[in-house]
Structure 1
Amino acid sequence: MMPRHDASDLAHRLGGYAEAVCRHYLSNGRRQGNYWTVGDARNAPGRSMFVRLKASPKGPPGKWTDAATGEHGDLLDVIRESLGLVDFKDVADEARSFLAMPLSNLPRTTDHSKSLPASVGSPEAARRLVAMSKPIIGTLVETYLRGRGITTLHGTGSLRFHPRCYYRPDDCGPTETCPAMIASVTDLDDRLTGAHRTWLAPDGSGKAAVDTPRRAMGDLLGHAVRFGVPNSVMAAGEGIETTLSLRCALPDMAMAAALSAAHLAAILFPPTLHRLYVIRDNDPAGDGARDSLIERAAEAGIEAIVLSPAMEDFNDDLRCLGLDAMRASISDQLMRGDRFRYLTRAA
């Protein structure tokens, strides 16, 4: 194996020609500001991976991070992955061969930048992932949601589609790509703090056949995936599909999906809120979240009312009982004024 100081020296020398290295080995990418963006270190098309092209006070050029997978490394890793090399000696020989090219073909990086790659799982990585995605209409996300009976899709700008989102197995097996529904997690001021990924089957017929098809990243506590702008009344639940299912019956009511029972219990209240409908899941975790949220709401002077499904959750109600039956089941659970304001208008 190459001595550590030799590898570090090679990586440093390659960093001096970071853009030239990227143009040569990551030819499917392009320069965007102070970064080279490409799908991954194997030169796939896309924008998930960011290679720093210019030095900053916190690090040298040539360092890269894949915002979708959390992978990171230097330009020696780029050479290894893009060429499919296994033996590090071959990687070093290729790097030396590249550096031996005429200097006129290797424009150097000389100026400085304060831009840094996003750290794994950070809000910045979440922002980049959302930015790489596109609206859901006409995509596999729409297919997936409609397959679950969710057809009320106006006002779902917080949901996006990524055709090749990286998935790293829990057992550290090989990274793969799958289409994914990307949900923006925002605070009460609509600032993006995180993202939630639901990996999908290639035809959108369901979730991808992976161990953990749902994962979140970024700053989640107190925040949520939001649908509509809350005023004096809103509803909050755990899962995205459960919340969207209730929204099919109450399309004009603002709603928020906190992504888990624990996060539902800690969701922050908009300052204009007077009444909160708690979307309950019929399980012990759902009951615990309901009780904690009701207690917090009462302390804040907010009226909290539980909406309970007939089955395990409201998506089960929507798919198995139908929209009309679901409307009927929640009608008596709504305050009279809200019944006329939201339910009658939706019918």
Structure 2
Amino acid sequence: MTRADVSELSSRLAACAEAVCRHYLPQGEKSGRYWLIGDARGTPGRSLFVRLTGPDRGKGAAGKWTDAQSGEHGDLLDIIRESLGLTDFKDVAEEARRFLSLPQPEPAARPDMSRPPANPGSTEAARRLFAMGTAIPGTPVAAYLRGRGIDPSGDLPALRFHPACYHRPTGGGTTRRLPAMVAAITDLDGQLTGVHRTWLAPGGAGKADLDTPRRAMGALLGHGVRFGRASDLLAAGEGIETVLSLRMALPRMPVLAALSAGHLSAILFPAGLRRLYVLRDRDPAGEGARERLRDRAASAGIETLTLTPRLGDFNDDLRRYGVDALRARLRLQLHPEDAARHLDGCSPGVTSGGAASP
């Protein structure tokens, strides 16, 4: 879609600005020449004001809006995007055309209007965002994981690549569209309850240079990003890269990334779990959360063992010393029964995806 096409859509929306506001921001109210609402996502309030009348362009143009609290501003295409929780501009443009009753450009198809709009940050918005992602082979996500010493060719259905995921700076500012690794947060039944986003630098050369390059949305409490299905054993840690580093050494061990120390302490235990391995990060902030998790597990009759890295976390160990050294260290910390079950038969230098260790 060209810049001229975008400008034309924005102008057509501005010509019926009040109708747009009544449709996409129904919790707001008209006050003179403005539509007042809490924010662009439709929260009740009066912080954001949309100009309903004015010139076609320039200062005071109809359809332009400003949020007095956050300092954000934009046009009615931004209102459609934020109010519906859309992440791909093609979907925003299609929705604008539908509202204006304009023909859809070929070969684009109309969005499914049978579904109600998803509230931003909701589980439904998370499901739609994950559905927009693609498999990670050959994408910047694969490059990012390789840069962290993790083989991306294994079975990683919980991870997807989004080429243009919206990032809104903390405290307001310009929203940007950046490549991102999107991870599915699921419950014990495997149902998606949220997503975690890691925004990436171009080509996957590390994380993007942002104030918050990682964020989660949806329902997190008790859930996590899962790799492998837990039965009697489970290893749980905070970060995705941390648990995937452990799985490089123990490819058959089911692991869960809780995404923060607080959420780690609250994970739900699968039926039949008898031994839980808690991955330690060498930071004092998470120690209290790990203690709470161990207490909860003990109350449920689950044995808990802590796995401790040599450096700051297991990804640091993997990148510094390699997968064979990581296996050797884990062998000393695993229950003997689990060491025989998960380490015996592992070929030196071979990962779950069959690639040589870094």
Specify the SS of the correspondent of 2:289.
helix
Q: Which residue of 1 aligns with 2:293?
A: 293
Q: Which residue of 1 aligns with 2:212?
A: 212
TM-score by length of 1: 0.71
Q: Which residue of 2 aligns with 1:310?
A: 310
Structure 1 residues 227-242: aligned runs within 5 Å: 227-242=227-242
Count of residue pairs brought into register by the alignment: 275
- Report the CA distance between 1:287 and its aligned residue: 1.7
Q: Which residue of 1 aligns with 2:121?
A: 121
Q: Which residue of 1 aligns with 2:137?
A: 137
Partners of 1:140 and 1:257 lie apart in 2 by 21
Partners of 1:195 and 1:217 lie apart in 2 by 6
5+ residue gaps, structure 2:
14-20, 27-38, 43-48, 65-75, 77-99, 104-112, 348-358
Alpha carbons of structure 1 residues 152 and 329: separation in structure 2 relative to 1, 3 Å:
farther
Partners of 1:201 and 1:115 lie apart in 2 by 34
Structure 1 residues 167-186: aligned runs within 5 Å: 167-186=167-186
- Report the CA distance between 1:155 and its aligned residue: 2.4
Q: Which residue of 2 aligns with 1:190?
A: 190
Specify the SS of the correspondent of 1:183.
strand
- Report the CA distance between 1:90 and its aligned residue: 4.5
Partners of 2:220 and 2:267 lie apart in 1 by 9
Alpha carbons of structure 1 residues 152 and 136: separation in structure 2 relative to 1, 3 Å:
closer
Alignment RMSD: 3.4
Partners of 1:232 and 1:171 lie apart in 2 by 44
- Report the CA distance between 1:60 and its aligned residue: 6.6
Specify the SS of the correspondent of 1:345.
coil
Partners of 1:152 and 1:89 lie apart in 2 by 49
Alpha carbons of structure 1 residues 114 and 61: separation in structure 2 relative to 1, 3 Å:
farther
5+ residue gaps, structure 1:
1-20, 27-40, 42-58, 65-69, 96-104
Letter in 2 for 1:277: Y
Structure 1 residues 1-347: aligned runs within 5 Å: 25=9, 61=23, 72=41, 85-91=57-63, 115-151=115-151, 153-347=153-347
8 Å CA contact retained: 2:137, 2:152: no
Cα offsets for 1:59-98 (capped at 9, x unmatched): 975569xxxxx9547xx98x99xxx945444449xx9xxx
Specify the SS of the correspondent of 2:193.
strand
Percent identical residues:
53
- Report the CA distance between 1:285 and its aligned residue: 2.2
Letter in 2 for 1:174: T
- Report the CA distance between 1:293 and its aligned residue: 1.1
Alpha carbons of structure 1 residues 137 and 196: separation in structure 2 relative to 1, 3 Å:
same
TM-score by length of 2: 0.69
Cα offsets for 1:7-43 (capped at 9, x unmatched): xxxxxxxxxxxxxx99x728xxxxxxxxxxxxxx9xx
Partners of 1:159 and 1:298 lie apart in 2 by 31
Letter in 1 for 2:189: D
Letter in 1 for 2:309: P
